[in-house]
Amino acid sequence: MSFSTTAVTGNSIFPRNSNSRPKNSQNRKEVISLLQKCKHVYQIQPIHAKIIRNAQGQDPFVIFELLRLCSNLNSIDYANKIFQQTKTPNVYLYTALIDGFVSSGCYLDAIRLYCQMVNEFILPDNYAITSVLKACGFGLALEEGREVHAQVLKLGLSTNRSVRMKLTGLYGKCGEFERARQVFDEMPEGDVVASSIMITSYVDYGLVEEANGVFNRVRTKDTVCWTAMIDGLVRNGEMNRALEVFREMQRNNVRPNEVTIVCVLSACSQLGALELGRWVHSYMDKYGIEFNYIVGGALINMYSRCGDIGEAVEVFGKMQERDVSSYNSMIEGLAMHGKSNAAVEMFWTMIKQGLRPNSITFVKVLNACSHGGLLEFGFEIFHSMTTRHGIQPQIEHYGCMVDLLGRSGQLEEAYSFITKMKMAPDHIMLGALLSACKIHGNLELGERVAEILVNCGNADSGTYVLLSNVYSSSGRWKEAAQVRAEMKESGTPKEPGCSLIEVNNEIHEFLLGDLRHPKKEEIYKKLKELNDELKSEGYLPATEVVLHDIEDREKEWALLIHSERLAICYGLISTKPCTTLRIVKNLRVCNDCHSMIKLIAKITKRKIVVRDRNRFHHFENGACSCADYW
């Protein structure tokens, strides 16, 4: 798509201050006033009919208002029809429709319309230029953006601040950082808006340190700038750094907005930082940050993922407005905490409220059925997707059903379900079945499933580890060693186990056999005390889950230093008796740790909440909420 850059020097221009005016300016004011009161699309057509009857259908002021209104009410097709019926549109009408296309996500249409305007020898002004540059940026239309940049230079608009910022954004979104930096460096040093654009561009491509360099050079940062940096860190997995930037923002007395709060709550969710999340919630109440469905959803997600499902339910109950995403968050939270029946009930409540479930809703509720072993409900809801709601199941929905069948021990039925699907199974689905094979001791089917995974090139570290566990649990060390050798040959790295615990608003990280913590001596002393006490209670280490064919004493030590046990020991020595301990682990909890933590909860009279890769485990009085299936 291209256009003539020479067209911008033409003389057939519709001037900004047109003297063409309708005879009855009072009618114009009345019509524009009526249009400005419209709240819904269906209110536009009768007013438009009146406009045509009053011979105002070519009045540029009235048409401009019509275009603007249609765009705001998400009726861009109607706006385009109005524009096409306009005989002599000027630059403002073109710009109004270009803006409408951009706000509707129709970026190529916006660029095409701009090309049409220029080729009609209508001179673009800085407003039209900024609109089309925005379209080029969002549409990643780099070549068209370069042509517009050439026009900017020809028209002498390169000193315009808005144009420069849009050029910076264009090149940044397209990954052309050298050009973006050239335009950015020509702007006044420390321009906070331009800096925010540059920061966002860098973090979109994972260039966190480059973004941080720009951020640090801004002397007076506003809320948007702080938020851009926090959001970028969160999106790139730098949760602790994001929270540190937020604390620095507080020290600089810059008040966060709703977007900042959502970003910080997301970081708290990932880290399991419940106390900090609670502080953010109280901060919202103190400073009157709007409690809308977006913030409400973020709070539900934070409380759910940080282990306090009761508080999540309370937040949901206080929400004045709820959309489908609010219900999705609540269903997911209940499912993660083993409250499957409540999650299914929440699903039915949503439907009774007249809200239409989407594809994500069904993933959440089917996952709830899987966690709770609700086989009958699961199949009823699965079939209702197509029969009642017109939603075709995707791979993730089929995966939930395979997991549900696997949980109930119907392994051959799960395998048959996979073979009858209209699509190829993915590694997540097959991994769920492999896990079920391990739990139910079906080695033969487990080998078949693992072979499919490996042959399809879909095996990840979890696949190899699961299959190794299947073999080692049966004492077949040779096969277990062979699987680990294959894992090494394939270059598949095993993700190291990592556990987090929040104590006194600080996040403490532990790895397998970690010796980095300042209180390591006290932690390992507590670990030995616990181990001795647990043995007196009849605890026997499940050494068969250790992947190596080594002596039992070494296997026992390999289990003892798992990261979640170190985190629990630190929690026990650092908090008052009866305090609930909340642990976040990046991997699935192993069988031995699961058994041990049940006993630790019993003898210490503590409630221990562990979030692993799959779900939450609430340990209390020697039992777990997952009913020993996870």
SS (H, E, C) 601-627: HHHHCCCEEEECCCCEEEEECCEECCC
**Cα dihedral sign, 54-60-61-67:** positive
Q: What is the pLDDT of residue 187?
A: 87
**Cα dihedral sign, 63-130-196-235:** positive
- Note whether 574 and 515 are same-domain residues: yes
User: Do 256 and 289 form a contact (C-beta atoms < 8 A)?
Assistant: yes
Q: Which structure tokens are listed for 507?
A: 């996040």
For 471-587, list the strands marked E by DSSP.
Answer: 498-503, 506-511, 581-585
Residue 156 confidence (pLDDT) above 90? yes
Q: Which residues does residue 620 pair with via DSSP β-bridges, in sequence order? A: 623
What separation in angstroms does the CA of 242 have from each of 187, 277, 427?
27, 13, 32
Give the DSSP H or E segment for 560: helix 552-560
- Note whether 518 and 447 are same-domain residues: no
Residue 117 confidence (pLDDT) above 60? yes
Dihedral, 133, 136, 137, 138 alpha carbons, nearest 10: 120
Q: Has residue 399 been placed in a domain?
A: yes
Strand-pair category, 581-585 with 506-511: unpaired
**Cα dihedral sign, 47-49-55-58:** positive
Span 48-60, average pLDDT: 82
Residue 364 confidence (pLDDT) above 80? yes
- Note whether 465 and 503 are same-domain residues: no
pLDDT digit string, tens, across residues 273-327: 999 999 999 999 888 888 888 999 999 999 999 999 999 999 999 998 899 999 9
Q: What is the pLDDT of residue 559?
A: 64
Q: What is the pLDDT of residue 473?
A: 67
At 90, is the pLDDT very low, low, confident or very high (cuts 50, 70, 90)? very high
Q: Has residue 120 been placed in a domain?
A: no
CA 174 – CA 564 distance, rounded (Å): 42
- Note whether 467 and 508 are same-domain residues: no
- Note whether 566 and 541 are same-domain residues: yes
Span 564-580, average pLDDT: 95
Span 241-270, average pLDDT: 95
- Note whether 407 and 443 are same-domain residues: yes
- Note whether 477 and 511 are same-domain residues: no
pLDDT digit string, tens, across residues 12-28: 333 344 444 444 566 77
What separation in angstroms does the CA of 193 have from each of 137, 189, 416?
17, 11, 57
CATH number of the domain within which 402 lies: 1.25.40
Q: Has residue 42 been placed in a domain?
A: no
At 71, is the pLDDT very low, low, confident or very high (cuts 50, 70, 90)? confident
DSSP code string of 16-82: SS-----S-HHHHHHHHHHHHT--SGGGHHHHHHHHHHTT-TT-HHHHHHHHHHHHHTT-HHHHHHH
CA 219 – CA 36 distance, rounded (Å): 41
At 457, is the pLDDT very low, low, confident or very high (cuts 50, 70, 90)? low
Q: Which structure tokens are listed for 103?
A: 């706000």
pLDDT digit string, tens, across residues 480-523: 788 778 777 777 677 788 999 999 889 999 998 889 999 999 99
pLDDT digit string, tens, across residues 576-592: 999 999 999 998 888 88
Q: What is the pLDDT of residue 31?
A: 78
At 10, is the pLDDT very low, low, confident or very high (cuts 50, 70, 90)? very low
CA 231 – CA 253 distance, rounded (Å): 19
- The pTM of the full predicted model, rounded to 2 decimals, is 0.80
Q: Has residue 409 been placed in a domain?
A: yes
Residue 425 confidence (pLDDT) above 50? yes
Report the percentage of the chain scoring pLDDT > 90.
62
CA 142 – CA 175 distance, rounded (Å): 10
Closest CA to 579 of 608, 555, 552: 608
Q: What is the pLDDT of residue 20?
A: 44
- Note whether 591 and 502 are same-domain residues: yes
- Note whether 599 and 503 are same-domain residues: yes
Residue 543 confidence (pLDDT) above 60? no
Report the percentage of the chain scoring pLDDT > 70.
91
- Of 432, 458, 489, the last residue of a domain is 489
Span 115-127, average pLDDT: 94
CA 163 – CA 131 distance, rounded (Å): 9
Residue 555 confidence (pLDDT) above 70? no
Q: What is the number of domains present in the chain?
A: 2
Q: Has residue 465 been placed in a domain?
A: yes
Q: Which structure tokens are listed for 169?
A: 């954004």
pLDDT digit string, tens, across residues 184-195: 998 887 789 999
239's CB contacts (< 8 A; 6+ apart) are 233, 267, 270, 271
- Note whether 553 and 471 are same-domain residues: no
Report the number of secondary-structure helices (H) and strands (E) in the chain: 32, 6
- Of 489, 506, 527, the last residue of a domain is 489
Span 335-359, average pLDDT: 94
Q: What is the pLDDT of residue 18?
A: 43
Q: Has residue 440 been placed in a domain?
A: yes
Q: Has residue 601 been placed in a domain?
A: yes
Q: Has residue 277 been placed in a domain?
A: no
More confident position, 22 or 234: 234
Span 259-278, average pLDDT: 95
- Note whether 483 and 575 are same-domain residues: no
Q: What percent of the chain is helix, strand and coil (3-state, nearest 5)?
A: 65, 5, 30
Mean of pLDDT over the chain:
87
Q: What is the pLDDT of residue 14?
A: 35
Q: What is the pLDDT of residue 432?
A: 87
pLDDT digit string, tens, across residues 592-623: 889 889 999 999 999 999 999 878 999 999 99
Residue 6 confidence (pLDDT) above 80? no
Range of the domain at 484: 394-489
- Note whether 525 and 601 are same-domain residues: yes
Q: What is the pLDDT of residue 371?
A: 86
- Of 455, 489, 523, the last residue of a domain is 489
225's CB contacts (< 8 A; 6+ apart) are 192, 195, 196, 199, 215, 218
At 561, is the pLDDT very low, low, confident or very high (cuts 50, 70, 90)? confident
At 547, is the pLDDT very low, low, confident or very high (cuts 50, 70, 90)? very low
Span 533-546, average pLDDT: 66
Q: What is the pLDDT of residue 206?
A: 95
Q: What is the pLDDT of residue 25?
A: 62
